[in-house]
C-alpha cells in the first residue's frame, strides 16, 4: 500500500467521522444555541478550521437546516 492509498483511507475515515458526528447532533436533536455551539466545537476539533466552523454555524442558524439534512441523508 502506497502513501497516497494511506492518505485516501485517512481522508475517508475523517469524512465519515465528520458526517456521523454532524448527523448525531443535527438530525437527532433540536437546533438551539447549545447545539449550534456543539456543532461549531465538533467542526473545529475535526480540523475544519475556526473560520469555516463559524461560517457553517451561521448557515445552520439561518434556517438552512433542511438543505443540510438532505445532504447528510445521502
Query: What is the sign, positive or negative, of the torsion defined by CA atoms of 21, 23, 25, 26?
Result: positive
pLDDT tens-digit profile of 29-71? 677 788 888 888 888 888 888 998 899 888 878 766 666 677 7
Average pLDDT value for residue range 1-17:
73
Best CA proximity match to 33, nearest among 43, 41, 44, 23? 41
**Residue among 72, 35, 74 at smallest CA distance from 57:** 35
- Domains annotated on the chain, with CATH: 3-72 (1.20.120.140)
Amino acid at each position: 500500500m502506497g502513501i497516497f492509498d494511506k492518505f485516501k483511507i485517512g481522508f475517508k475515515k475523517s469524512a465519515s467521522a465528520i458526517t456521523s458526528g454532524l448527523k448525531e447532533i443535527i438530525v437527532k436533536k433540536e437546533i438551539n444555541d447549545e447545539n449550534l455551539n456543539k456543532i461549531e466545537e465538533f467542526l473545529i476539533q475535526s480540523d475544519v478550521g475556526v473560520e469555516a466552523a463559524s461560517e457553517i454555524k451561521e448557515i445552520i442558524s439561518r434556517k438552512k437546516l433542511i438543505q443540510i439534512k438532505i445532504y447528510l441523508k445521502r
